[in-house]
C-alpha cells in the first residue's frame, strides 16, 4: 500500500459539522473542542482507545447527551448549540448499538417496524417494509422470533435492519462488532459496509479496532483524550500520521530513538540511530541534530540478505511464530529496540542474527517533545538517546534461515 490523496472535501455536500464541541461530566472534560466535518454519503470511522471520548461524541451527535459548549449541525440545521438541544427523535438519524439494544418484548419484525413509526406509514406497510429489510439482512425466516432466541450475529443484523429500514440520512454505529465473536465480525462488517453504501447513508462509526477502521472508512478520524488528532483518508492517516499517537494507534511494530541528519527530499529525512542510518518519512523536516523517535510500520520491515548496507538494522531473533502462511519474528535490534511481527517467508531460528531492511514509507520520524532544540554534536546525542546496544555481531556470513520448524 502506498500513500494516496483523499477525495477533495469541498466537492462533497456537508452533512455533519461539529465546531469546538466540549462535554464535561462534572469536573471531567471528556470532549475538548472537537472540530469535525462529515460529507454526505461518506463513511467516517472514529478510531480511538477506551476513554478517548468517541462514544460521548457519538452520543452528542445522537442527542442523547447535551453539549457543554460548541455547535453541532446536521444537514445544515443546528441541532445543538449554546442554548439549543434538539431531541434525538427529531434529528433524522438511526443507530446501531454495541449491545444491540433490541427490545426483548418485541419480535425481530416489530423491532424493525418500530423505526418506521416516525414516517407515519400504516401498520401493514410498516410490517411489509420491516420484513423486506429483514430479508435483505438474511433474517426473513426469523422475523417472528424474539431477540432472546437469536444469536449475537442475528441480533446485530436485526439492529442493522432497524437502523436502515427508515432510510434516515445519517447512521451512527457504536462499536457494533465488539460484542461479536471473531468469526462473525468480518461477516457483519461486510454487511454493514455493503448495506450502508448501497443505501447512500452517511455513516459515523466508532471503534477501537484499527483493522476494522481501515477496512470500513472513507474518512478516518483518530480521537484521543477528547480531541481529534487527525481526520483524513485512511491512506493519509496510515502513511502520514499527524503525530506519534496516531502512528502508534494505527499500528507500529517497534520504536527507535535517533537524530535527524538532514533532508533527503520532501517528507523524507535521513536519521542516524546508533549504528544504523535510515531514511524516514516526516510530517515536517526537522532541523539537523534534532532528536527524533522512529516508529516502524510492520509492512516496512523485512529480513534481507547481509549484502545490503543501506537502510538496514541488525538484530537477533528472540522468537518466531507461524502466522497466515509466513513467519512473524520478534527481533531485538543492535540499538536495543524490540521489533514485533517482522515477517518473512522463511523461518529464522531463535538466536539467529538477521539483517532487517527498512522501507522509508513505513519508517516514521517525529521530533522528541523532550528535546525540541537541535543538538550540535550528533554522535553524542545518538549515544545519549539510544538505549544501551546489545552485543549483536553484524551478520557475516549471511544468516542461515531455517526453513524447517
Partner 1 sequence: MSAARPLGRPTRLHRGLSSTAPGLLLGAVLLLTLGLPVGLFLVVAVSPRLFSQGTSWLTGAGFVGAIRGGALPGLVNSMSVSAVAACGSLAVGLALAWFTSRSTLWGRRLWPLLVWAVLLAPSYLIALGWEQLLANHGSFWEMGLRLPWLSSLFFGPVGVVFIYILKGVPFAYLATSLAMSALGGEFEDAARIHGAGRWGAWRVLLPMIAPAIWSALAVVFAETISDFGVAYTLAASSKFQLATYTLFGAVDNFPSQFPVAAAVGWLLILAVGIALVLQSRALRGRLYGSLSGRTRAPSRVSLRPFGQAAGLALVAGYFLLSLGVPALGAVAGSLLKPATRGFAIAGLTLGYYQALLHDGAPLTPLAYSAEIAAVVATLVGLVAVPVAMYLTRSQGGLASKAVDLLLLGTVALPGIVLGAGYIFVYNLPELNAIGIRLYGTTALLGMAYFAGALPTAARVLVGPVAQVDRSPVVAARVHGSGALGSIRHALVPVVSRSVLWAWILTFTGVMFELPVSQLLYPPGSPTLSVAITRALGLDFYGPGTAMSVVSVAFALLVVTTVLLLYRWLTPRGWRQVGLTR
Contact positions toward partner 1, by CB under 8 A? Answer: 59, 62-65, 87-89, 91, 93-95, 97-105, 114-115, 117-118, 147-148, 162-163, 166, 172, 179
- From CA 377, how far away is CA 206, in angstroms rounded? 46
Bridge partners of 262, per DSSP, are 270
Minimum distance, C-beta of residue 225 to partner 1, in the bound complex (Å): 20
Minimum Å gap between C-beta 167 and partner 1 is: 12
Q: How far is the CB of 269 from partner 1 (least distance, A)?
A: 45
User: Is 108 or 355 the residue whose CB approaches partner 1 more closely?
Assistant: 108
Q: Alpha-carbon distance 365 to 19, whole Å?
A: 31
Closer CB to partner 1, residue 196 or residue 237? Answer: 196
| Cβ-based nearer residue to partner 1, 86 or 340 | 86
The answer to whether 389 touches 274, Cβ cutoff 8 Å, is: yes
Least distance (Å) between residue 309 CB and partner 1: 55
**Residue 390 Cβ, how far from partner 1 at the closest point, in Å?**
38
- Cβ proximity to partner 1: between 129 and 272 the closer is 129
- Chain centre distance of CA 357: 26
Q: Which is nearer to partner 1, 111 or 290 (CB)?
A: 111
Closest CB to partner 1 among residues 164, 364: 164
Write down the least CB distance from residue 153 to partner 1, Å.
15
In this complex, which beta carbon is closest to partner 1, that of residue 115 or of residue 222? 115
Closer Cβ to partner 1, 102 or 354, answer by number: 102
- Please identify, using beta-carbon distances, which residue of 172 and 348 lies nearer to partner 1: 172
CB of 46 to partner 1, least distance (A): 17
Three-class SS of the chain: CCCCCCCCHHHCCEEEEEEEEEEEECCEEEEEEEEEEEECCCEEEEECCCCCCHHHHHHHHHCCCCCCEEEEEECCEEEECCCCECCHHHCCEEEECCCCCCCCCCCHHHHHHHCCHHHCCCHHHHHHHHHHHHHHCCCHHHCCCCHHHCCHHHHHHHHHHHHHHCCCCEEEEECCCCCCCHHHHHHHHHHHHHHHHHCCCEEEEEECCHHHHHHHCCEEEEEECCEEEEEECHHHHHHCCCCHHHHHHCCCCEEEEEEEEEEEECCEEEEEECCEEEEEEECCCCCCCCEEEEEECHHHEEEECCCCCCCEEEEEEEEEEEECCEEEEEEEECCCCEEEEEEECCCCCCCCEEEEEECHHHEEEEECCCCCCCCCCHHHHHHHHCCCCCCCCCCCCCCCCCCCC
Rounded least distance, CB 166 to partner 1, Å: 7
| 3-class SS letters over 40-63 | CCCEEEEECCCCCCHHHHHHHHHC
Nearer to partner 1, 179 or 199 (CB): 179
Nearest-approach distance from CB 204 to partner 1, in angstroms: 13
Amino acid at each position: 500500500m502506498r500513500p494516496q490523496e483523499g477525495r477533495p472535501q469541498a466537492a462533497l455536500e456537508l452533512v455533519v459539522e461539529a465546531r469546538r464541541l466540549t462535554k464535561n461530566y462534572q469536573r471531567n472534560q471528556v470532549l475538548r473542542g472537537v472540530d469535525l466535518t462529515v460529507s454526505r454519503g461518506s463513511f467516517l470511522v472514529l478510531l480511538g482507545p477506551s476513554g478517548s471520548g468517541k462514544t460521548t461524541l457519538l452520543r452528542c451527535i445522537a442527542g442523547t447527551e447535551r453539549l457543554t459548549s460548541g455547535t453541532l449541525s446536521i444537514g445544515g440545521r443546528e441541532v445543538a448549540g449554546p442554548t439549543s438541544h434538539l431531541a434525538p427523535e427529531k434529528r433524522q438519524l438511526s443507530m446501531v448499538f454495541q449491545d444491540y439494544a433490541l427490545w426483548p418484548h418485541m419480535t425481530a419484525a416489530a423491532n424493525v417496524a418500530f423505526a418506521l413509526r416516525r414516517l407515519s406509514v400504516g401498520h401493514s406497510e410498516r410490517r411489509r417494509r420491516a420484513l423486506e429489510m429483514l430479508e435483505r439482512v438474511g433474517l426473513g425466516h426469523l422475523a417472528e422470533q424474539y431477540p432472546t432466541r437469536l444469536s449475537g450475529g442475528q441480533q446485530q443484523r436485526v439492529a442493522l435492519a432497524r437502523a436502515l429500514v427508515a432510510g434516515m440520512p445519517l447512521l451512527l454505529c457504536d462499536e457494533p462488532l465488539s460484542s461479536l465473536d471473531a468469526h462473525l465480525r468480518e461477516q457483519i462488517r461486510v454487511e454493514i459496509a455493503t448495506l450502508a453504501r448501497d443505501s447512500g447513508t452517511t455513516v459515523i462509526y466508532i471503534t477501537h479496532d484499527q483493522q476494522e477502521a481501515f477496512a470500513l472508512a472513507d474518512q478516518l478520524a483518530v480521537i484521543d483524550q477528547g480531541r481529534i488528532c487527525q481526520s483524513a483518508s485512511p491512506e493519509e492517516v496510515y502513511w502520514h500520521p499527524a503525530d506519534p499517537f496516531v502512528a502508534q494507534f494505527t499500528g507500529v511494530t517497534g520504536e527507535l530513538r535517533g537524530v535527524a541528519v538532514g533532508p533527503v527530499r520532501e517528507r523524507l529525512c535521513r536519521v542516524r540511530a546508533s549504528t544504523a542510518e535510515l531514511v524516514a518519512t516526516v510530517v515536517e523536516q526537522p532541523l539537523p541534530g534534532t532528536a527524533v523517535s522512529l516508529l516502524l510500520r510492520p509492512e516496512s520491515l523485512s529480513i534481507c540478505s547481509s549484502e545490503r548496507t543501506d537502510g538496514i538494522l541488525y538484530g537477533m531473533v528472540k522468537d518466531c511464530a507461524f502466522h497466515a502462511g509466513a513467519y512473524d519474528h520478534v527481533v531485538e535490534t543492535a540499538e536495543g529496540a524490540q521489533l514485533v511481527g517482522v515477517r518473512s517467508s522463511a523461518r529464522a531460528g531463535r538466536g539467529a542474527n538477521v539483517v532487517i531492511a527498512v522501507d522509508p514509507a513505513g519508517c516514521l520520524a517525529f521530533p522528541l517533545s523532550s528535546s525540541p532544540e537541535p543538538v550540535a554534536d550528533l554522535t553524542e546525542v545518538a549515544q545519549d538517546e539510544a538505549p544501551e546496544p546489545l552485543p549483536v555481531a553484524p551478520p557475516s556470513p549471511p544468516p542461515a534461515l531455517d526453513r524447517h520448524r
